[in-house]
Structure 1
Amino acid sequence: MPYTSEKPREYRITPRYLANSDADVSPAIRPLLDVGWALSYDELANAFVTAPDLRARLAFLPEGEDSTLWKVSAGRDAFAPPEWLVTFDHKTPPEVVEDFTTALADAYARGPDAYLGHGGRSDGADVALQLLSDGWSLNPATPFLTYQSPDRLIRLHRRDNVLRHVDEMAGDTERWLYEVGPPRDVWYATASSRLPEHLLQALTTVVTDPAPVNRYMRRIDLDRLPAAATATPTAPSPLEVARVRAATARSLSVPRAAPSALAYSTATRPPALPQATAAGRSR
């Protein structure tokens, strides 16, 4: 079938935080399964991944009640509200979630102190200092403490007011809000107050990582990409391959002209010898 504008083609999208969410989500769960977490489903096909000690869990909620697609939480007691909550909405590139669950799996393998921390509030000072050193700026035009990336496509909001823990765990509010993308094409991630500092740093890193990702896209999908995104084909299209093959076949079918006798004799003619100088005559 010839290539058309409606046939999907693989592209490398840079930066990845401007790619769409249309990709396999199973790699986002795999890091937790690799450290022994258990996978289960409900009757609506929502997926749940639970740690062996029942203290930490991930929920993938395509049939959820709102736009939140991913919820990750942990607590010291399996029967009590969690200590912290991280969420990603339905537009989040799944590679972002995968990198965060990789960091969480590593923390879980090191023990409760690594993924629960001291149980207190993270002030995010190290994260803020790192962002400012990387060229981010403070935006005074918002009611929050807002850090903005140099390309102005990522905004990290921090609420300074007192928040009720129960409200944060219910998803009604959040300490940290990541707002990614241009206007009208934004995805969100959130983190609660008690997320350990190193996991907050990991979350900030994975949200802002510009590494490229691959997507199968039609021409209409490419037209919808933000202007700041770069889409590079990972391989020639079938039409381009066919054109190259046709051109190669034509060049092979045309016989090469035999070298002319003139060219041959000219190439093999010995160089002219210098004429002898006549006696008594100088040059």
Structure 2
Amino acid sequence: MLAYPWLERPREYRVSPRYLAGPTHTGDPGLQPLIDAGWNFSRDDLGNVFVTTPDHTVRCGYLPEGDRGPLWVISAHAHAFAPPAWLITLDLEAPPEIVGDFTTALAAAHATAPETVVAGDTRIGNDVTNQLLREGWRIDPQPSATALRTPDQLVTLHRRRGHLNHEAEMAGDGERWLFEVGPPDHRWYAAASSGIPAELLGTLTTAIGNPGAVERYIRPSHLDRLPRQAIAVPAAPTPLEVSRVQAALAHSATPPRATASTLAYTTATRPPTAPQRALAGRSR
């Protein structure tokens, strides 16, 4: 153990699956695709950031200094002064790369056919369910909802059935689609309201379930703060680390199980969501 752990230098690791990597303390990966597409950028005195289409019909807020609620809020409106037609939120622990995948698709869809971004189909539930089942997700029917889970059980998508009050959904008091991501002690949430276009819901689902790796700068002594299901591999291990791993493997007929802590010093080739209130669970 270091005598002065605060002097330990962070190192670059590739963390997978990326939905367990946590945030990066910057919203750039999620905001940049919208700024590159020519959307308007502004921020308040606290540091919250707002990006909108030039016609103000689609809006994205990155709210690290918000009083309560999610870190990310994305909404679409029929016109600049209309109430939101649909709403997406992601909480404080959502990796911004996931938001970036969604905002990239959102910007492209708005540039090609702006009307399709607002006009959603309320009958998309079965289509999304069938698509996820084809991709290997498992279904768990429940009395008022359907739960779909990835094979590793670390991502669950709850789909509420029946009528939901639109105003309540827009206020964050309920949601048609709720993602629960990660193990219980490292869980984060994302939600999508009724009315979201099927293509955008599909993009959000794919982005959240993507098991690829992302880069994170982490102090080696802080690796145990990651969920135990996460794998962290140094982006550039030192020669000493390489020699230590080679020596350990040479003396072990049965290599140890790969975990976040052991893989942190192992070289590797870089790989090419009950009642509505209870389910929400997205308080700051």
1:145 is aligned to: 146
Classify 1:94/1:242 alpha carbon distance in 2 versus 1 (closer, same or farther; 3 Å): same
Classify 1:190/1:65 alpha carbon distance in 2 versus 1 (closer, same or farther; 3 Å): same
1:96 is aligned to: 98
1:209 is aligned to: 210
2:66 is aligned to: 64
1:166 is aligned to: 167
Q: How does 1:10-49 map to 2 (within 5 A)?
A: 10-22=12-24, 24-49=26-51
Alpha-carbon distance in 2 for matches of 1:76, 1:94: 27
Q: Structure 2: which amino acid aligns with 1:134?
A: E
2:228 is aligned to: 227
Q: Structure 1: which amino acid aligns with 2:38?
A: G
Give the 3-state SS of the residue equivalent to 2:207 in structure 1.
Answer: helix
Structure 1's unaligned 5+ residue stretches are 244-283
1:86 is aligned to: 88
Does the 8 A contact of 1:168 with 1:192 survive in 2? yes
Alpha-carbon distance in 2 for matches of 1:135, 1:86: 25
Does the 8 A contact of 1:86 with 1:189 survive in 2? yes
Alpha-carbon distance in 1 for matches of 2:102, 2:226: 24
Per mean C-alpha deviation after superposition, the further-off stretch among 222-231 and 198-207 is 222-231
Aligned counterpart in structure 1 of residue 53 of structure 2, from 36, 48, 51: 51
Does the 8 A contact of 1:124 with 1:200 survive in 2? no
Q: How does 1:237-252 map to 2 (within 5 A)?
A: 237=238, 240=241
Does the 8 A contact of 2:20 with 2:182 survive in 1? yes
Give the 3-state SS of the residue equivalent to 1:83 in structure 2.
Answer: strand
Question: What is the aligned residue count?
Answer: 240
CA apart distance, 1:123: 2.6
CA apart distance, 1:28: 1.1
Aligned counterpart in structure 1 of residue 76 of structure 2, from 57, 74, 77: 74
Instruction: State, as a whole percentage, how many aligned pairs show the same letter.
Output: 51
1:185 is aligned to: 186
Classify 1:39/1:128 alpha carbon distance in 2 versus 1 (closer, same or farther; 3 Å): same
For the aligned residues, what is the CA RMSD? 2.2
Kindly provide the CA deviation profile for residues 166-225 of structure 1, in whole angstroms up to 9, marking residues without a partner as x: 111111111000100001211111101000000010010001011100111123321122
Q: Of the two, which has the highest radius of gyration?
A: 1
Structure 2's unaligned 5+ residue stretches are 245-284
- What is the TM-score with the length of structure 2 in the denominator? 0.79
1:248 is aligned to: none
Give the 3-state SS of the residue equivalent to 2:199 in structure 1.
Answer: helix
Classify 1:9/1:86 alpha carbon distance in 2 versus 1 (closer, same or farther; 3 Å): same
Q: Structure 2: which amino acid aligns with 1:99?
A: D
1:263 is aligned to: none
